[in-house]
Amino acid sequence: MRKIYPFLLSLVFISCHTTRFEYIGSKEAPTTRVDVFVDEKSIPRPYLVIGKGYQVPNWRGLPNREKMLEQALAKARTNGADAVFFMDQFIPAQGTQVNSQTTIDSLGKGLISRSSTSVNPVYGYWHHEILFLKYR
């Protein structure tokens, strides 16, 4: 029975692990009010980018966007940002993916060969970036 305790303890520890949110940038005096923007044209005042935020996924993957927003706002308040800008950008990648499959069956004295090839375009991927802004 005692041999199972370390396993149960490690299972509890792993299940409680949350996704980390890392901040890279300068640290200013803490703020209490933080604006949230998703479009660069809607930012009303001139600003400086004082940092960038990144999520480090755990074994369960990335959390939902609401949790990401909470984590980003907490980092913005502690690092003195006046606003947070969530930038989603689609980065196109030109190319194709070729998949080939061949099967060979033997029936009696003859061989039957079947092959198929499919060519699919590769469109690109989404890049998510979180910028921390300080108004001038």
Q: For the whole model, what pTM was predicted?
A: 0.63
Separation of alpha carbons 98 and 8, rounded Å: 46
Position with higher pLDDT, 122 vs 47: 47
CA quadruple 54, 51, 31, 86: dihedral, nearest 10: -50
At 11 the pLDDT is 58
- pLDDT band per the 50, 70, 90 thresholds, residue 93: confident
Asked if 33 and 133 touch (Cβ cutoff 8 Å), the reply is no
pLDDT at 133 over 90: yes
In the chain, % of residues over pLDDT 90: 39
| C-alpha of 35 from chain center | 22
